[in-house]
Amino acid sequence: MGYHAGAWEPETYIEMNNNDPDRKKDIICGCSGTTTAQIKKQIDKGIEDLESISRATGACSGCGACDTDILALIAEYISSVSRNAD
């Protein structure tokens, strides 16, 4: 993980890829522009560890500041899916 010299600013990523303002609120990794929805999609596919999610989405590949937020999202989402399955 760590610093990536080519990391994009979230605003630049959104302008280039999606001008939807709601998407900006959903970004969990500012370096890669990864959204919470993208993380949840990976979890739904059975990918539940930070390293695999990082490889699949690009999250945590820049500064690494989002790792604790992503770990919390993983735990919360898995817990909510488990509760809903009961």
Q: List pLDDT tens digits, range 20-57.
A: 555 567 999 999 999 999 999 999 999 999 999 999 99
| b/e map 5-31, b = 16+ CB within 10 Å | eebbebeebbeeeeeeeeebeebbbbb
Q: Is residue 4 part of a domain?
A: no
Q: How many domains does the chain have?
A: 1
What are the residues whose beta carbons fall under 8 Å from the beta carbon of 1, sequence distance 6 or more? 54, 60, 61, 64, 67
Cα atoms in the 13 Å half-sphere on the side-chain side of 66: 29
Domain span at 76: 10-85
What is the reported pLDDT for 39? Answer: 96
Contact 53, 42 (CB under 8 A): yes
Q: Is residue 51 part of a domain?
A: yes
Q: List pLDDT tens digits, range 47-71.
A: 999 999 999 999 999 999 999 999 9
Q: Is residue 15 part of a domain?
A: yes
CATH number of the domain that residue 55 is part of: 1.10.10.1100
Q: List pLDDT tens digits, range 1-14.
A: 443 444 444 444 44
Q: Is residue 1 part of a domain?
A: no
